[in-house]
Amino acid sequence: MSFGGAPKCPVCNKSVYANEEVAHEQKKYHKACFRCSKCGKGLDSLNVCNRDDKLFCKRCYGQEYGIGGYGFGMGAGVLGTDGGKGSAASATTKGSATARGGGGASGPSFGGGVKCGRCNKSVYTAEEVKGAGQSWHKRCFTCQNCNKSLDSTTVADKNGNIYCKGCYAKEFGPKGVGFGIGAGTLTT
């Protein structure tokens, strides 16, 4: 029974009143219920991710649904941005030589394959990072200006080059008064 017509919290299914609400994707949660469904960490608008009506912190979301493979905490094998642990897609690609670069009808043969966006050498599955529409070696996935290591949340691209958010803003952001340059006009 619902009195007063207050919206229901998707986590506990109890009424959410204005003084205790947190809104996310057109749903209203209690502040106490707005937590990661895996680790229980309190969430805010900067670290919330959701999938299948479950809330996650960025760390737990990455563990469940992010990139996997050698160098990403899952042992030797392949990187994948498939559905995460136990998905049908990950079961079919693990250990499959023809899934990528093993000489199958649609895959490239020895020595061919995807080239790194920075060094233009072949990128093998175990060392591949995808970003800005290209494949990169993990060691090459760095800012064009300052060489800081990047990830999917810190990368910005322009003309085929990748930058950290800070260098991108310095190079391509607005300029003028209030943006670190003196005299009177705003330019881009």
Is the pTM for the entire model greater than 0.75? no
CB 175 within 8 A of CB 186: yes
Half-sphere exposure of 124 (CA within 13 A, CB side): 10
Q: Which residues contact 40 (CB under 8 A, 6 or more apart)?
A: none
pLDDT at 102 over 60: no
Amino acid 106: pLDDT: 38
Residue 93 confidence (pLDDT): 36
Give the pLDDT confidence of 111-162 residue by residue, as tens digits: 567 888 889 898 888 888 888 888 889 899 999 999 999 887 888 888 888 9
Average pLDDT over the chain, rounded to an integer:
72
pLDDT given for residue 42 in this prediction? 85
* CB 15 within 8 Å of CB 4: yes
Least confident of 43-47, 102-106, 116-120: 102-106
Fold type of domain 33-65? Cysteine Rich Protein (2.10.110)
Give pLDDT tens digits for 61-78: 888 777 655 555 444 444
Residue 95: per-residue pLDDT: 37
In angstroms, rounded to a whole number, what is the distance separating the alpha carbons of residues 40 and 140?
Answer: 35
Domain extents for the chain?
Answer: 33-65
pLDDT given at position 180: 55
pLDDT of 131: 82
Q: What burial letters (b/e) apply to 51-61, b meaning 16+ CB within 10 Å? A: eeeebbbbebb
Q: What is the model's pLDDT at position 96? A: 37
Give 50 or 188, the one with higher predicted confidence: 50
Lowest mean per-residue pLDDT among 70-74, 97-101, 179-183: 97-101
Q: What is the share, in percent, of the chain residues with pLDDT greater than 90?
A: 7
**Closest alpha carbon to 41 in 60, 28, 22, 27:** 60
pLDDT category at 104 given cuts 50, 70, 90 is very low
